Amino acid sequence: MNSKDIEVFLMVSQTRSLTQAARRLNTTPMTVSRRLASLEDDLGVRLMHRTTRAIALTVEGEEFLPYAKSLAETEQSARNLFSPHQQGATGQLRITAPSGFGRRTIIPLLPALMEANPELRIEFQLSDDVTDLVGLGYDVAIRIAPLRDSRLVAHRLANNPRMLCASPDYLQRFGTPQTLNDLHHHNCLRLSGVVQWSFIIDGHISSLSVEGRFSGSNVEGVRTLCVAGSGIAQLSEWDIREELASGELIAIELQDAQPQMLGVWALFPTTRQLPARVTVFLHALKQAMEKTDKLPVTAPRL
C-alpha cells in the first residue's frame, strides 16, 4: 500500500470531506479521490461511501481505520529515528472528554504538554455525548460514566464515586437528608434526562426517582446552582473535588445507601501499541490527577 494513499484516507476519514482533506494536504480534490480509489483497489474493498453531499466510512473502512493509523505512525516513527532535530511526540493528537472534567483537568495541562513536544498538534473536543471514537478518528476518549460493552479498549485512571452534595447554607436552611426517603423532601438538581439517581443498596445498584425545579445539560450548570445553595446534587467526586476541598460543598452520606463507584477511564480504538502522542498525554493527565488527588478535603461529610 502506498503511504500517501493511507495519509489521504486518514485525512478524509477525519474531515469527511474531499475538499477539506485536499486543502489540509495541499493538493486537489481530484488527487484525493484518485488516491482513495487506488487504496480501495489495493485492498479489494470499498472504504468509503461518497456522494455529492456526504462521505461516510463503510464497515470495512471502520475496520481498516486503526490499522491505517498504525501504518502511518510506524512510518513516522521510522523517519524520526534518523531526524537529528526530532524532539518529543509528533503528529496530531485527537482527544474527546466530558465538558466539566475537560475544562478543569485536561485543558490546564495542554500548554505545558505542547511546549514539551514542539511537533505535537492537539485537537480537543469537549462533549458530554457518547462519541463515535473509531468513526470520527479520535486517539483517546476520557469517560467518567459507566462504560458500555464495545470493541474499545479501556484503561482505568482513577476511582470516581457518585456523591450527594449540597452547600453548607442549603443544609443549614433545609436540613441534611439521612435516608433515601428524605431526598423526596429536598430540591434535587438534576442533569437533563437523568430522572433517577443510582446508589448501592445491599451490594446491588438501585435507582431512586428524584424531582426538583432545575435540570441542566451539563455538570457545570448543576454544580454552580448547588454551590449557590439551590438544592442537592448527585455528581461524581472528580466533578466536585475543588468545592469539597474549599468547603463550598459538603458530601452527604446516607444511612441506608452507599455511593455507586464509577471510574475515570481512557478509551482507545485498538489494542495495538499506543503511539507516543497518546502515551505522553496519558502520562501528563495522570500526573495532573495525582496532584489534584492530594488536595485536602477539609469539608466534613454529613
What are the pLDDT tens digits along the chain (302 aa)? 788 898 899 989 888 888 888 998 889 989 999 999 999 999 999 998 887 677 888 889 888 888 888 787 777 666 655 554 556 788 889 999 998 899 999 999 999 999 989 888 999 998 877 766 766 778 899 988 776 656 678 888 888 999 999 999 999 999 999 999 999 999 999 998 888 999 999 989 999 999 899 999 889 999 999 999 999 999 999 999 999 999 999 999 999 999 999 889 998 876 566 778 888 999 999 988 887 665 554 444 44
pLDDT at 272: 61
Task: For the chain, give the number of residues.
Answer: 302
Are 138 and 275 within 8 A, CB to CB? no
pLDDT at 298: 43
The structure's pTM equals 0.67
Q: What kind and span of H or E run contains 32?
A: helix 29-43
pLDDT at 182: 95
- Exposed (0-12), middle (13-18) or buried (19+): which is 8, by Cβ within 10 Å? buried
pLDDT at 294: 56
**What SS3 string covers 212-281?**
CCCEECCHHHHHHHHHCCCCEEEEEHHHHHHHHHHCCCEEECCCCCEECEEEEEEEECCCCCCCHHHHHH
pLDDT at 240: 94
Helix 18-25 with 3-15: angle, nearest 10 deg:
130
pLDDT at 162: 93
Residue 58 phi/psi, 5-degree rounding, is: -75, 175
- Pairing between β-strand 250-252 and β-strand 196-201 as defined by DSSP bridges: unpaired
Are 282 and 266 within 8 A, CB to CB? yes
pLDDT at 300: 43
pLDDT at 139: 87
Cross-strand bridge partners of residue 215: 190
- Nearest alpha-carbon partner for 210 in 188, 191, 227, 193: 188
Cross-strand bridge partners of residue 261: 161
- Nearest alpha-carbon partner for 124 in 288, 292, 277: 277
